[in-house]
Chain A
Amino acid sequence: DAGVTQSPTHLIKTRGQQVTLRCSPKSGHDTVSWYQQALGQGPQFIFQYYEEEERQRGNFPDRFSGHQFPNYSSELNVNALLLGDSALYLCASSTGTGNTEAFFGQGTRLTVV
């Protein structure tokens, strides 16, 4: 049983570029949440997708957008990259039934230069 998988594992982009990160949730899970973890900090909630719609959003600018597909996989898009967007981006999957346990992928390390 595959857990949460994210791709790519590492990525280097230039300021102003756009990036797309991908996540496949754990089998049986239908909810995907994205988090940004800066170095030395705890993860910060970006947004959550359920039934292909954004259900909740954290305090992140509109440059951060996402999508969920019918197979529950998800993408995180960041436009007009800034140096401060450099971080570990984590995807977490869970079920939409009220169970609050979330399982994380290994993350995508994004470096903006």
Chain B
Amino acid sequence: TQLLEQSPQFLSIQEGENLTVYCNSSSVFSSLQWYRQEPGEGPVLLVTVVTGGEVKKLKRLTFQFGDARKDSSLHITAAQPGDTGLYLCAGSLRAQKLVFGQGTRLTINP
């Protein structure tokens, strides 16, 4: 059973376009993390959101945690080829165990 559903699974867009990746669950999480992973490497933490309704910005990336702490979104403005990668959301249930979504593979074409 996949506790976290990410959509879309694959996304290929042109440089300069905007995009949104969604992470949805029926479970309530104490916190949610977004990671970016390059091929053959471990995930790199981008942000942690804790409070329902919280919005965090990291340059052109905007992360939002749903009011009920069951879902989250990642919005990228003016995407660049360097944004290409696998984006993973991970919810924390208890004692720091992370439940991951299956990931969104993003490709930004020059």
B residues near A98, Cβ cutoff 8 Å: 96
Interface residues of A in 49-100 (CB under 8 A from B): 55-56, 58, 88, 90, 92, 94, 96, 98-100
Docked-complex contact B45 and A56, CB < 8 angstroms: no
Interface size on B, residues (CB 8 A): 26
Measured in the bound complex, the distance between the Cα atoms of B30 and A18 in whole Å is: 37
| B88 CB-CB contact with A under 8 Å | yes
| B31 CB-CB contact with A under 8 Å | yes
A42-B103 contact in complex given A31-B96, A56-B97, A101-B33, C-beta closer than 8 Å? yes
Interface size on A, residues (CB 8 A): 31
Docked-complex contact B102 and A104, CB < 8 angstroms: no
Measured in the bound complex, the distance between the Cα atoms of B42 and A106 in whole Å is: 4
B residues near A6, Cβ cutoff 8 Å: 42
